[in-house]
Amino acid sequence: MVRYFFTRTARMPGFEVEHNQFLRTTRTVFVNIKYRGFVLTILGIIARASSKLQLPIMQKFMFQEHGSEYSGLDTGGIVEVQNLDLPKEKQKTATRYEAASEYEFRDVLERLKVQYDQYNFIDYGSGKGAILAAAATYPFKSVVGVEHSFMLHEIATENIIKMKRRNSVVANVLHSVHGDATTYELPSEPHIIYLFNSFGADILKDVTDKITHDLADVHEPIFFLYNNPMHHAVLDDNDKFHRISSPFGGKWMVYTVNP
Ligand SMILES: C[S@@+](CC[C@H](N)C(=O)[O-])C[C@H]1O[C@@H](n2cnc3c(N)ncnc32)[C@H](O)[C@@H]1O
């Protein structure tokens, strides 16, 4: 029991990525306090505990692990891989669509302490655009998502139109691109690169090779934020990637890239 609480592996058959569940939960609680406030977080914890005890009271306060409860955008739900409109050879290695936690993302991003207006932000496998929507509230030079499913790319595009109509976009440029992460050309400028375990090790290897090739002339620091880092061995084995931290008890890994 004690061992379970302090070390737990990610739930993907065949892969063992250790998370420290205790650190992860502690950090999640702090992040919720930071972005939702103390009272709502406590109510959220009570709601969560009561749901686990099969006494579902106060469920409206339940905090969401995925997506944002406030954005009003269509980013929720899960789309299993077999229901994604991806080419057959890419479907084998792709992961299902589900949005990441906006609060965890904001926390990891803000800890970099960079000048956002010097950076382009890219999400490889951006889905319906939940993280694009969060990133676009920072003054990045550009926020771009690359998504291989046309169906999800179209939903992201609708979400972006809604955000622009509401004037909630702070970044200079915001768009979703329909395409394969392995072939997307990065402009030769400083980047913050984000990935939520969108694909397997083979595709990740191709993507990292493309990143170091396209950004070879960039001398400013480049960051790679890896959420649910199932294939971190690909980055650990690449001498151009240097791990600088493992926030959320290993659930996120942050690297700098020296192409
Ligand atoms: C777990 S979702 C991530 C969603 C979003 N990035 C977030 O953090 O909320 C992974 C996404 O990667 C996409 N994907 C898988 N393989 C891809 C590829 N080769 N190129 C671009 N997108 C891909 C899937 O269609 C899916 O929408």
Match 């406590």 to its residue by tokens: 42
Q: What order of strands is seen across the sheet that includes strand 241-245?
A: 174-178, 142-147, 120-124, 191-196, 222-227, 252-257, 241-245
Is the CB of residue 46 less than 8 Å from the CB of residue 58?
yes
Residue 50 CA to ligand 1 centre (angstroms): 33
pLDDT tens for each residue of 85-100: 999 888 889 999 999 9
How does 227-239 read in b/e, with b if 16+ C-beta sit within 10 Å? Answer: bbbbbbebbeebe
- Averaged pLDDT score across all residues of the chain: 90
Query: Structural domains in the chain?
Result: 2-61 (no CATH), 81-257 (3.40.50.150)
Query: Is the per-residue pLDDT at 150 higher than 90?
Result: yes
pLDDT tens for each residue of 215-230: 999 999 999 999 999 9
The whole-number pLDDT of residue 40 equals 87
Question: Mean pLDDT throughout 202-226?
Answer: 97
Beta strands per DSSP E along the chain: 8-9, 18-19, 120-124, 142-147, 174-178, 191-196, 222-227, 241-245, 252-257
Band of the pLDDT at 28, cuts 50, 70, 90? Answer: confident
Q: What is the pTM of this model?
A: 0.93
Minimal-distance CA residue to ligand 1 atom 25: 149
Question: Mean pLDDT throughout 56-84?
Answer: 78
Q: Write out residues with Cβ below 6 Å of ligand 1.
A: 84, 90, 94-95, 97-100, 123, 125-127, 130-131, 146-149, 152, 180-181, 196, 198-199, 203
2-11, 31-40, 75-84, 218-227: segment of lowest average pLDDT = 2-11
Minimal-distance CA residue to ligand 1 atom 6: 126
Match 């379970």 to its residue by tokens: 4
